[in-house]
């Protein structure tokens, strides 16, 4: 489980590196959306605001693509928080880190005051006015969350193995029970019950067929009736084809 989480985190980091190389395009897309929305005063203060810009005020495919990349990374970080929570019960340190991550990935959380510190340089690529008033928080969000998650993993790896197994083993047992094959004796018994019920539902000659409750019974009845309809009617023997039987008196003479 821990290896899967670490691999997922590395995958998100790779996507973020690609996104980070296009920070200028991202800022340009937000600037265009703010102009279209006539919203040049407010800073970018939440993930939900970026979502609203993309859905209602995005004017070209390039802007939409980069905004969608940002939102996809935020969505994957939110899913990672759920995976972290299911991995182990947690300690005060790991629980505090996880709560910070969950707060930051919330759609409505105010991120305008966030500023990523060294070694991150995302804020340094902004002008003073942009960094102070508009985009410093939104460009700092993902690197801050990634740092918190890597710190969570580092603390979790120091925990005893039993602490990780307390949650992992019940989850594995639940998955095994859900995918367990059906007992071998159950299916034949069910087939016997179905056959017995079908035989009881077959009407006697001259009776009107009963109303069947299931598709299986209806199919059974149609098969039986079809076989009756195609069965040839036996011909009666011709009496003239046989010699007459002699009377008892004639046999004595």
How many residues in total does the chain contain? Answer: 253
pLDDT, average across residues 138-151: 98
Mapping DSSP onto H, E and C, the string for 105-153 reads CCCCCCCCCCCCCCCCCCHHHCCHHHHHHCCHHHHHHHHHHHHHHHHHH
pLDDT of residue 251: 47
Is residue 79 pLDDT above 90, yes or no?
A: yes
Which has more confidence, 61 or 165? Answer: 61
Share of the chain above pLDDT 90, in %: 54
Confidence of residue 202 (pLDDT cuts 50, 70, 90): low
Which has more confidence, 194 or 63? Answer: 63
pLDDT, average across residues 85-113: 94
Average pLDDT, the chain: 80
pTM above 0.75, yes or no: no
Is residue 253 pLDDT above 50, yes or no?
A: no
What Rg, from alpha-carbon coordinates, does the chain have? 38
In this structure, what DSSP letter does residue 214 have?
S
pLDDT of residue 90: 85
Secondary structure (3-state) at 92 = helix
pLDDT of residue 190: 45
pLDDT of residue 108: 96
């Amino acid at each position: 489980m821990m290896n899967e989480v670490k691999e997922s985190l590395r995958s998100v980091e790779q996507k973020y590196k690609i996104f980070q190389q296009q920070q200028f395009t991202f800022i340009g897309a937000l600037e265009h959306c703010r102009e279209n929305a006539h919203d040049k005063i407010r800073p970018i203060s939440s993930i939900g605001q970026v979502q609203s810009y993309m859905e209602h005020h995005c004017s070209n495919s390039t802007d939409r693509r980069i905004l969608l990349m940002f939102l996809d990374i935020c969505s994957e970080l939110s899913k990672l928080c759920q995976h972290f929570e299911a991995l182990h019960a947690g300690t005060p340190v790991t629980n505090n880190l996880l709560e910070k991550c969950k707060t930051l990935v919330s759609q409505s959380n105010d991120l305008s005051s966030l500023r990523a510190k060294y070694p991150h340089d995302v804020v340094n690529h902004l002008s003073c006015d942009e960094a102070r008033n508009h985009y410093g928080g939104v460009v700092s969000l993902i690197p801050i969350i990634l740092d918190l998650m890597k710190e969570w993993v580092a603390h979790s790896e120091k925990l005893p193995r039993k602490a990780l197994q307390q949650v992992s083993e019940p989850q594995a047992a639940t998955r095994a029970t859900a995918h367990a094959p059906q007992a071998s004796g159950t299916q034949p018994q069910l087939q016997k019950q179905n056959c017995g019920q079908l035989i009881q539902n077959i009407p006697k000659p001259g009776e009107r067929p009963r109303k069947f409750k299931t598709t299986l019974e209806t199919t059974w009845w149609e098969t039986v009736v079809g076989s009756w309809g195609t069965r040839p009617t036996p011909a009666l023997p011709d009496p003239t084809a046989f010699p007459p039987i002699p009377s008892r008196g004639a046999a004595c003479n």
